[in-house]
Amino acid sequence: MKIGLQFAMPAEFHALPGARDLPPVETVSGVPFFEAAPGILACAGGVSKVNAAMAAEIFCLKYGVDLILNAGVAGCATDLPTGSLVVASEFVQHDVDTTAVGDPIGLVSTVNQVVFPTWQPERCVSLLKEQGVSAVTGRIATGDWFAVKGSRAEWIRDTFSPLLVEMEGGAIAQVCLRNGVRFVSVKSVSDHLFSEKQAEEYFDFGQALDALGRVVLPLAQSLAQEFC
C-alpha cells in the first residue's frame, strides 16, 4: 500500500513531526517529494488547483500511490472553532461555471459531475477517534480564490453549503477519480470567512497547524493498515 500525503504549503508539511529535517527523495517538476514513513511519500505541491492537480498526477503516475491523503488548513464558512478537524465527505469546485450553455453550476466537464466524493469519510473519522481525536465530516468547496467576507463568499455558502472553503482539494479529488486512486482529505480550521478578524486569524494559524500535524501521519499509517 503506497500513500501520498499532499499538502499545499511547506508550513503545512512542516507541521509533521521531524518533517523539516527530511531530505527530499527527488524533485519532480519543481516539487520536492519526501519519504515521511515507509510506504508514505509527502509533498507540498503548491497553492491553487493547477499546482494541486499537477502534484497529484505525479503521485498517481510516477509513484503509483494507492491513496492520496490531502491535508491542510482551510477557511470555515460556519462557526467551527479554530483547530477543528474536518474529514471531507465530498468536494465541489465553486469557480466552475458553464451555466451559459445549460450546465448546472459547478459541473466539471469531461468527468461531467458536480460532486466529488471521498473514500469512506466516516471510517476515517473512526480511525481518528481511535487516536483520541475528534473530527466532523462535511462538504468542502474548492476554487482559485482566497475566500474573504463579502458577496462572493455569501454566494458560495448559499449555493454549495460547504463547511469549509479552500483552494486544492477539489482538484486532487478530480485527479484521483480519473486515475482510480482512493482520496481522503483532512482539513484544520484556520480562519472564518465571515469574521471581522479573518485576516488576523489566518496569519496566526499555529493552532490549526498543530492540530493537523498531530493526526496526519498516524491517520495515513492507519489507512495503510486497513489494506494490509
> Which positions are annotated as active-site residues?
12, 191
Nearest-angstrom CA–CA distance, 83 and 135: 10
Which residue, 87, 131, 102, is CA-closest to 222? 131
Which residue, 70, 43, 63, 91, is CA-closest to 184? 70
Task: Specify the residue for cell string 509533498.
Answer: 43
Residue 214 CB contacts under 8 Å (≥ 6 apart), including other chains: 133
